[in-house]
Amino acid sequence: MKKLLALLKPYRGIFLLAMAALVMGAVANSALTGLVSSLMNNVMTEQAGGSASQADKLFGYRDKLVFLEQTIKDLGVPLDALGRAKDEALVNPIPWSLLAILVFSTQAFFNYLGTYTMGRIGLMVVVGLRQELTEKMMALSMNFFKHYNTGDLIARVNTDVLRIQQAISVKTGEMIKEGANVIVFVGVVFFLNWKLSTTLFVLVPMVGIPVSIFSRKIRKYSRQSQSFLGALTAHLKEVLVGIQIVKGFRKEAFEAAKLRDINRLFLKYALRELRIMAVTTPVMGLIGMVVVVSFVCYGSLIIQRGEMNQGDFLFYLLAVYQLYQPIKRMARANSDIQQAIGVLPRIDEILQWDNEILEPATPAQVPGYPSVTSLRFEAVSFRYRDQDDEDTREWVLDQVDFEVGRGQVTALVGASGSGKSTLAKLLPRFYDVTEGAVTINGVDIRAMAKSELRDLFALVTQDTVLFDDTVHNNIAYGMPEATSEQVAAAARKAFAHAFIERLPEGYQTVIGEAGSRLSGGQRQRISIARAILKDAPVLILDEATSALDTESEREVQQALDALMCDRTTLVIAHRLSTIRKADQILVLDEGRVVERGDHASLLAQNGLYRKLIQMQEEGHRAL
């Protein structure tokens, strides 16, 4: 509960207002309940107008009725014609009716104010928590995303946070409101008859034992069921994204079976959670009924002794009932709150993740920025980190050392898993080097502001990333202030303008999730146009032409050749056409640079590079 209340700390002012309103609503509710017994004593019985009841003494109804009667008379309303004439301040129904409306309106206002305020707090908490989670995840290194799948993260941001919102907006307010009702009515019943109410100290503690047991079990099962729900969401997303492969390999039944297994585990713990929640209310209701029956039995003896009149005993019974109902509602609310508390560790797990990609306290000034005259890897070694143990992974890069001058093109080649793409990801600090340093113009990139560092790079990857937005906005993603003319010019250079013009709405066509309404080659050309528009001094091309057909590749390669002129470029490619013009080629094998030189010199070495080229040429001939 402390963790849940900690979320309310930034809103403590409005939270205190909500608490005050809900407490006042509870007081007004007790006054409305007491009004019933006073109506019986003063209006609806033969003894009307007799001595003041306990409720009259507690809430001062008589003084308020005298005031209301005088106000009515001042307005010229003939009370004699509307009600009984005897002792009108006490027995005439008109002032009593107005008093009932006034008390009910007061209760309704405070309940509205408290409910609305708590709902507002819940919405502000959930909006702030979602934003904090999203910003935290976006600030983390790519290493974080190797530990969590997308579906699980989405479940935490959506489903888990919604449970917290429900707990704060509705259930915490309900706990405060009903708790205040319990406290107020405990005071009322003790005021009415302390002997009868002393039994509360014997019976009410019975409530605490099942509440404590149920709360622990609900938290446990809620945490487990939400974990499997996250796994289910993640796997379902994978299946839907890869549905073409699933169908092509006839794996529908296989994937359905995997989903069924996860669903069964989710159902197992969700049913346990439901069973505990379902048993909570009847158990608490039974305890409450024991309390009520005990009061009624003992109360009948008190009436027989003449210690209370019927109106006061009716008020007493209503007050006890008002204790019984809030206890039931508090039990239900507690179940939902415990569910939210159960998922809080899943939220904290993300928020507490150590972000190793930190901003420098005082960012360094890079000489000549934004021009890049030198880009150097100095004895760089790298391995992926685990959150708890940094030394469990093998080295992905081992003592890589090379330099790229301004306008030079460096190509990285090697078998899959040799470390090419990882090396390129170190430049924009998607990961930080484990040992050694990467420098730009002699400055370690870890000393640079991340925003300034990443402004130096334009990135085109093998896995094209596009968004469910217009063509224009996708091309202008890295330069949102770009004009339509600038976007079109970049598209022309990427040989994308012609097919864009043929789209239903041209540059304003929405291309669907991940660009699903375009072909692979079209998506890649839009990605290249995005890099062209950014016009960054350093290009990172990770298999940038791999998704293009031969004709499109030739056209786009011409655009890339022009774009690479006078720019520092890092190219990851297998195709000979992409790398043969590179100023230097680095051949990687198991994370080490085993050969380096230009195309001709590497062929002459008759080493791994020549072997890779021969394998590629044989593959082309086979086609």
SS3 content of the chain, % helix, strand, coil (to 5): 65, 10, 25
178 contact partners, CB below 8 Å, separation of at least 6? 326, 327, 329, 330, 333
How far apart CA 467 and CA 212 sit, in angstroms, is: 48
> Rounded to two decimals, what is the model's pTM?
0.63
pLDDT at 41: 57
Q: Strand 374-382 vs strand 435-440: parallel, antiparallel, or unpaired?
A: antiparallel
Residue 138, helix vs strand vs coil: helix
How far apart CA 509 and CA 522 sit, in angstroms, is: 13
Q: How many structural domains does the chain have?
A: 3
Residue 594: what are its φ and ψ, rounded to 5°?
Answer: -100, -20
My answer on whether 184 and 202 are in the same domain is: yes
How far apart CA 464 and CA 514 sit, in angstroms, is: 8
My answer on whether 381 and 437 are in the same domain is: yes
* Residue 461 is assigned to a structural domain of this protein: no
pLDDT at 87: 47
Q: How many CA atoms lie within 13 A of 298 on its CB side?
A: 17
pLDDT at 43: 54
DSSP letters of 210-235?
Answer: HHHHHHHHHHHHHHHHHHHHHHHHHH
pLDDT at 135: 85
pLDDT at 453: 92
Tell me the CATH number at 36. 1.20.1560.10
My answer on whether 577 and 448 are in the same domain is: yes
Q: Strand 443-444 vs strand 457-460: parallel, antiparallel, or unpaired?
A: unpaired
My answer on whether 526 and 549 are in the same domain is: no
- Write out the H or E segment, with its range, that includes residue 569: strand 568-572
- CB-CB contact of 468 with 510 (8 Å): yes
User: Residue 479 is part of which domain span?
Assistant: 466-533
- CB-CB contact of 312 with 192 (8 Å): yes
* Residue 98 is assigned to a structural domain of this protein: yes
Low-confidence stretches of the chain (pLDDT < 50) are: 44-50, 81-90, 389, 622-623
Q: How far is CA 232 from the centre of its chain?
A: 17
My answer on whether 74 and 19 are in the same domain is: yes
* Residue 108 is assigned to a structural domain of this protein: yes
Fill in the DSSP letter of residue 137. Answer: H
347 contact partners, CB below 8 Å, separation of at least 6? 129, 133, 156, 160, 161, 164
My answer on whether 335 and 470 are in the same domain is: no
* Residue 357 is assigned to a structural domain of this protein: no
Tell me the CATH number at 388. 3.40.50.300
- Write out the H or E segment, with its range, that includes residue 572: strand 568-572
My answer on whether 228 and 160 are in the same domain is: yes
Angle (CA) 174 178 182, round 5°? 165
Q: Which of 351, 372, 395 is the last residue of a domain?
A: 351
- Residue 522 tokens, joined: 């079209």
pLDDT at 36: 65
Q: Determine the residue type at 526.
A: I
